[in-house]
Amino acid sequence: MKLADFPDVQDLPVRQKLELVDELWLSMTPELEALDVSDYEKELLDQRWQDFLRDPKSALTLDEFQQKMKALRE
């Protein structure tokens, strides 16, 4: 499913898109709480946390993260 499949949504102003995202997120909350985190995902998160604790400077700043996300969209 892609945004292009929903031209009416595509044409909404940003504020209304954000409201729609919020409503979608809230509608999923009960289902998200029921999702289990796999052992693999737990290990991956533990490893990433340990990597961060060993070298906190390896984490991206908010600006760096935003730049990377912007570059991916271009």
Q: What percent of the chain has pLDDT over 70?
A: 100
Domain spans in the chain, listed from the N-terminal domain onward: 1-35, 36-74
C-alpha–C-alpha distance, residues 33 and 27, integer Å: 12
Reported as a pLDDT band with limits 50, 70 and 90, residue 21 is very high
What pLDDT digit, counting tens, does each position of 30-47 carry?
888 788 899 999 999 999
Q: With b meaning 16 or more CB within 10 Å and e meaning fewer, what string describes 20-58?
A: eeeeeeeeeeeeeeeeeeeeeeeeeeeeeeeeeeeeeee
